[in-house]
Amino acid sequence: MPGNYNNKTKKNAFVSDLPHNSQAEQAVLGSALLSKDALISVLSSLEESDFYEGKHQLIYRAMKNASERKVAVDVLTITEELINMKELENVGGVNYLKECSDSMVALSSLDFYIHIVNDQSCLRRLLLTIRDIDNKYHTEEIENIDQFIQESEAHIKDATEKRRVSQFKTTAEVAHAVEMEINTSKIIGEDEVTGLTTGYRDVNKYTQGFQRGDMIIIAARPSVGKTAIALNMGYRAATRAHVPVAIFSLEMASELLVKRLVAAESGVSLKSISSGNVMGSDRIKVAEAIKKVSSAPIFIDDSPGLKLMDIVAKSRKLQARLQSEQKELGLIIVDYLGLVTTGNSGSKSGDSRQEEVRKISLQMKDLARELKVPIVVISQLSRSVESRDNKRPMLSDLRDSGSIEQDADVVMLLYREDYYKKQTNSAGEKKGKDLTDSDKAALSREQKEKQLAQEMPGDASYVEVNIAKNRNGQTGIAGLFFFKAFGRFDDPPRDWEEQKREIAGGIED
């Protein structure tokens, strides 16, 4: 292997040539020694490791210790603290503390010096990280290049994360930014939503569209239609709002996803398209649908065994590629959460699946905020739904981790009555004459609603989309029709909704 970076002399040389600004560090510490306001700014903006020189780290530690004990910080008290720490001589004695205090700067200039110290600290972390990556490359066997690159990217991101010192903003500053955004932005999609259209009238009404930086969870039991609705939403965003959409499909091959899109667009059954048994006018519909699907800006990654870092790295790469073409990524869909792993399942940490899901959920939310893109994540519901008389899902039914509910900005729970048709029929047969008048009324209403659904083509089912959590808006239930034969979700026709209301009103009367 070329080079030996374990050499002690080279290591010392690496450390000694790291970037730093001793004068800025001195000015920051001297200001904190003489001003309470300066002390608060320094302790809240910097950490001990942000100082390069060992003596400056010791002075900072002494100031922090004294401050935590609510002791006033000045040259005298810090001298006493350093004596107790047995470090006074190592910082250069009282004379050096006075030298620092002589370097004090005006409070109005302090932030500038804090930024210098912070930037130099960040640059040191970055260089050390790069050297560690280089050292690993030269001294360790790299089994998986892709994983090595992704881990290196993550380490570099961690090293630079603390670069910007967080500051308060006045409402005037924020309000001005909001005003500028409103004045310069265009409404995306339809129905005057403020975000990216979901493609559905009632869902838009509750959510105002998918907002940038939001994580949206779509959850249901298997085969209820969660992949289909996410795919429909992505397709409508791409074709109606004309934004690029990324789909990470961990469960389904890209060819099948495209067949689903063609079926949904053409209104020809997926079964016919998959078997190639498309006849007559349906062939024309399918050909036109293929042309339209082909022109949609949708990017599909169906790589098997996709890990969390793969999703993060590929999303960043796609965003950068689109930006180079003067475009912006509009939506990311991950299907589905249960198949995403951190790639550390075999590690010594031995994290439980709940802990792994917590990390995945947090990272997905961070990615949405970083790229300023809504991310739709499909999730399973636990089997606890099946054990209840009322099968309508609740937030507590989200599988694997409560952090999903906590981190998500929007949670949509799907309920389809005919999914439980067999169980309902069996229960009805057993009850027989034991049904109460209210039970009979409910069954009568249900039968009439089903009859309405049966009048529609494509094996239609009525689906309740329960927006059970909406961090920035209303919660409620939006109704959609799921045409199972060709995998399309549509808004219920207005006249159907009228008939449904009349049925409900007639039964109540």
| Helical ranges in 140-225 per DSSP H | 145-160, 171-184, 201-207
Question: Are β-strands 245-249 and 298-301 bridged in parallel, bridged antiparallel, or unpaired?
Answer: parallel
Interatomic CA distance for residues 263 and 30, integer angstroms: 71
Spatial distance between the Cα atoms of 38 and 107, rounded to a whole number of angstroms: 6
Please enumerate in sequence order all residues whose Cβ is within 8 A of that of 467, keeping only pairs 6 or more positions apart, or say none: 203, 206, 207, 410, 411, 412, 474, 475, 476, 477, 478
- The whole-angstrom separation of Cα 163 and Cα 118 is 6
Cβ neighbourhood burial of 471 (10 Å; 0-12, 13-18, 19+): exposed
Catalytic residue among 140, 173, 251, 455: 251
Does 251 participate in catalysis according to the annotation? yes
Burial pattern 338-368, b for ≥16 Cβ within 10 A else e, equals: ebbbbbeeeeeeeeeeeebbbebbebbbebb
What's the rounded Cα separation, in Å, for the pair 137 and 416?
Answer: 53
Separation of alpha carbons 139 and 382, rounded Å: 46
Strands 460-470 and 410-416: antiparallel
Phi, psi (deg, nearest 5) at residue 484: -65, -30
Distances (CA, A) of 422 to 25, 198, 417, 427, 492: 73, 32, 10, 9, 25
Report the distance separating Cα 135 and Cα 6, nearest Å: 8
269 in Cβ contact with 263 (< 8 Å): yes
Q: Which residues are catalytic?
A: 251
